[in-house]
Structure 1
Amino acid sequence: MSTLTAPARTRRPRTPVPAPVRRARRRGSALALLAWATGILFFLPLAWMVLTSFHSEPDAATNPPSLAAPLTLDAYRTFFSAGGADGPWPPLINSMTAALCSTLLVLLLALPAAYALSLRPVRKWRDVMFFFLSTKMLPLVAGLLPVYLFASNAGLLDNIWLLVVLYTAMNLPIAVWMLQSFLAEIPVSVIEAAQIDGARLPTVLRRVIAPIAGPGMAATALICFIFSWNELLFALVLTGVRAETAPVFLTSFITSQGLFLAKVSAASLAISLPVLVAGFAAQDKLVQGLSLGAVK
């Protein structure tokens, strides 16, 4: 009996990859490695702060540092028991009040301004935009003395609502600049259709523009919240006991007796946690918002 043999498979010759494609792949791999290295480089200080916060003061002060030191919660107990019976909660509440209220005011004021500059432009609107942005270039210390004298004469020292007004004025230029680029991507035909249906400007802003520009508004709100939460100079000079914010409370851990690394690391992590949580929760909106105004 004859056996049937399967025909031998013929291998197709591989198509050579063009040199430009190989160079593009190598360039992409190099950029990916660079991005990972940069990300790890920026993450290492945060990871080191977290690890130090769980060490005792003698272990945190060793040089070189001890990675295998036993972990403890003493630094966090010190942080939450500092500042008297109430602990750090009054400064945290003050920071949250100032950051949230100023961010809401910034959005309420920046949205109509950005609408006028993007969808209903005025003459020399670019000059107006650069004027808004130029106010961010003023050093904060240059305006500290006039603001302090005004607050002192008006009886507004150690008042959290003064910080709300200041943070609103400080973040409004960057918010108008960002929202203008976001609103410029909205088709004018959508707004004209709403106006034909009888919608007035407040209705157009609330029901048409705000939902479409939601990611951009979320990105702007998050950036303004971070700027307000981290502000230290005005809060340090203009507040005392009642309106003390979290960054000012953090400076109380640096005493004349020395710098206690474990306590400072625990306090820094606890104070930074609201910003980290807000950024993690809104990361998808932040990416959408930051990329919305960059694509034409």
Structure 2
Amino acid sequence: MTTTAIPATGAHKQLKEGGAGKRKAGGIIATVGTWIIGLIFIAPVFFMVLTSFHAEAQASLNAPNLFAPLTLDGYREFFGSKSGQSPWPFLLNSLLDSVVSTLLVLVLAIPAAYALSVKPVKKWTDVMFFFLSTKFLPAAAGLVPLFVIANNIGALNHSWFLIILYTAMNLPIAVWMMRSFLADIPPALFEAASLDGAGLAKTLTRVVAPIAMPGIASTSLICFIFAWNELLMANLLTSSQQAQTAPVFLTSFITSQGLFLAKVSAAAFAVSVPVLVAGFAAQDKLVQGLSLGAVK
């Protein structure tokens, strides 16, 4: 018995070490692959940022010179603007539209998600499909009706109309995301809140909001990014800096005189900074919220 147990133990040890080695090698391959994919995605952004610090003559070379001298001329031209227009009104318009529409989306999406997950309404699957169906139609298909409506009610060149549109555009996504987050909250918490006499408003603010904060943060950031980057509606429904947004202002740098890469790169990076700041500020909550929404 003893002579047969020793070889068996040795073979088992070898198999265990072999399996651990394969897992370690697989982990290294996955890590290297992840870094490669990440670098591929970040390379265009890095090139844009680097180009923004180059002189226009160096940026427009057919074979780009990555080691050209650095300068802030592109940023000086952007913030000074080629036509004397300051970018700040456009940036503030984008900030106003994005923040207000995101807050409205949360105010509407959280109760809706609560009703569809914690206190499910009848035929809630049909309701969810209705929300999803509103994203089937391409945005370009609604341009003419929206323009006619805005023109008839005097809403052209007004930020409040864009805020309403951004809220309507992001609401279906927010409801789907928030329902996924709220469905993971244990029902016992809501039963305890109900026994303590908490109404709907107190349940949403004292129970749902603290627990679902990662989901709220990730939903808010996604809605903010979508609203901040929106160009089609803003370009059609606005005509002056009174309501035009930052993406619309960026298009003014592409003229019949040519495409100035350094200046456009500086402008694009400057407009992207608020989104980057919001992403880094909510990084922990965003990762936690997306993980909670994906793991069932």
Q: SS where residue 158 of structure 1 aligns?
A: coil
Give distance in 2, aligned partners of 1:67 and 1:85: 30
Give distance in 2, aligned partners of 1:123 and 1:248: 43
**Equivalence map 1:81-120=2 (5 Å):** 81-82=80-81, 87-120=86-119
For the pair 1:274 / 2:277, whether they are aligned, the reply is: no
Q: Which moved more, 1:75-84 or 1:183-192?
A: 75-84
Give distance in 1, aligned partners of 2:182 and 2:228: 26
- The equivalent of 2:14 in structure 1 is 16
Give distance in 2, aligned partners of 1:129 and 1:221: 19
The gaps in structure 1 that reach 5 residues or longer are 1-12
Deviation at 1:83, TM superposition (A): 6.7
Deviation at 1:138, TM superposition (A): 1.4
Larger Rg: 1
Give distance in 2, aligned partners of 1:265 and 1:83: 14
TM-score normalised to the size of structure 1?
0.93
Give distance in 2, aligned partners of 1:57 and 1:137: 42
- The equivalent of 2:183 in structure 1 is 184
- The equivalent of 2:7 in structure 1 is none
Give distance in 2, aligned partners of 1:214 and 1:59: 47
Amino acid at match of 1:73: L
Please list the CA deviations of residues 152-179 of structure 1 after superposition, one character each: whole Å capped at 9, or x if unmatched: 0111000001000000000000000000
Distance 1:83 1:122, change over 3 A: farther
Deviation at 1:84, TM superposition (A): 5.6
Give distance in 2, aligned partners of 1:250 and 1:39: 27
Give distance in 2, aligned partners of 1:270 and 1:154: 34
> Identity of paired residues, percent?
61
Q: Which moved more, 1:279-288 or 1:27-36?
A: 27-36
Give distance in 1, aligned partners of 2:68 and 2:85: 31
Amino acid at match of 1:268: A
For the pair 1:293 / 2:287, whether they are aligned, the reply is: no
Please list the CA deviations of residues 77-124 of structure 1 after superposition, one character each: whole Å capped at 9, or x if unmatched: 100011765610000000000000000000000000000000011222
The gaps in structure 2 that reach 5 residues or longer are 1-9
**Equivalence map 1:153-232=2 (5 Å):** 153-232=152-231
Q: SS where residue 120 of structure 1 aligns?
A: coil
Give distance in 2, aligned partners of 1:248 and 1:17: 62
For the pair 1:73 / 2:72, whether they are aligned, the reply is: yes
Q: What's the Cα RMSD here?
A: 1.5
Amino acid at match of 2:153: A
